[in-house]
Amino acid sequence: MNEHPHSLSMSERADRLEEEKMHEMERIITRSTLAHLMDGNVKMDTSVEMRARYPGKFFLMGDDPRLPRMPEKPTLVDYFRHRFASTAHLLQSATHALKGGQPEKVVLACLLHDIAIVSFIRCDHGYWGAQMIEPYVDEEVAWAVKTHQALRFFPDESVGYGYPDLYKQLFGPEYRPEPYIVEEYNRARAHKWYMTSRLICVNDIYSFDPNAKVNLDDFVDIIGRNFKQPKEGLGLDSSPSAHMWRTILWPTRFL
Ligand SMILES: [Fe+2]
Ligand SMILES: [Fe+2]
């Protein structure tokens, strides 16, 4: 390599650095197609191309050495500590619900309502989050997490909830939810658990205080009583959503 390093652009230098780091790694780390799509590229890491680039190496089939180590039998709390990129919003929402005297079911729903965003994916986060927790929580909690995604966009004056100002700032004043969200809202409005999901929104909106003191330890007992931790470890069990937790545990496994 004989080009002068200063002749490289920032992103070329970043790529080169990544490449160098990868050569130091023992295993080849691949990115899923979804990660490439998120970069605006319809492409995939193929085994032929990757093996040619890193000759003599095997693909990663377990822990990603770049990520914090997880215990052998991870719990929900371990995911909070080592995989969720940010927990302040969830803890603030749950703290608000707790201080407001809400039942544990609602507190748990607030604590988990955006876990998809902080650990996995933004698009349709309510649906993803609900599927992740469904096997482990009361049906009502998973339902509330799923539908908060739609309810967020619709006011309910009876509980003092208006369309969030923040959404006007984030999405522009013209944004209107897609038809599937409107339909979800209409179904939820008529559902017996409507208010549980609505309470996620009510506690959500006040939960952006940067000075609020929050601590996961305050919720460990509530999690213990209301989240059925699998004995094999969350993600290493055989529940219908275990694979989602495993993907968060091992996001760069080749298969
Ligand atoms: Fe949300
Ligand atoms: Fe939220």
pLDDT for the residue numbered 55: 92
Query: CA–CA distance from 38 to each of 1, 129, 134, 213 (Å)?
Result: 31, 19, 27, 34
**Which residues 6+ apart lie within 8 Å of 177 measured at CB?**
150, 153, 185
Q: What is the pTM of this model?
A: 0.90
Q: Looking at the CA of 89, which ligand is closest?
A: 2
Residue 179: both structure tokens together: 């038809």
Average pLDDT, stretch 50-66? 94
Q: How far is the CA of 2 from the centre of ligand 1 (A)?
A: 50
Q: How far is the CA of 212 from the centre of ligand 1 (A)?
A: 19
Q: How far is the CA of 65 from the centre of ligand 2 (A)?
A: 30
Q: Looking at the CA of 146, which ligand is closest?
A: 1
- 196 pLDDT above the threshold of 80: yes
pLDDT in tens, 102-123: 999 999 999 999 999 999 999 9
What confidence tier does 6 reach under pLDDT thresholds 50, 70, 90? low
**Residues within 5 A (CB) of ion ligand 1:** 114
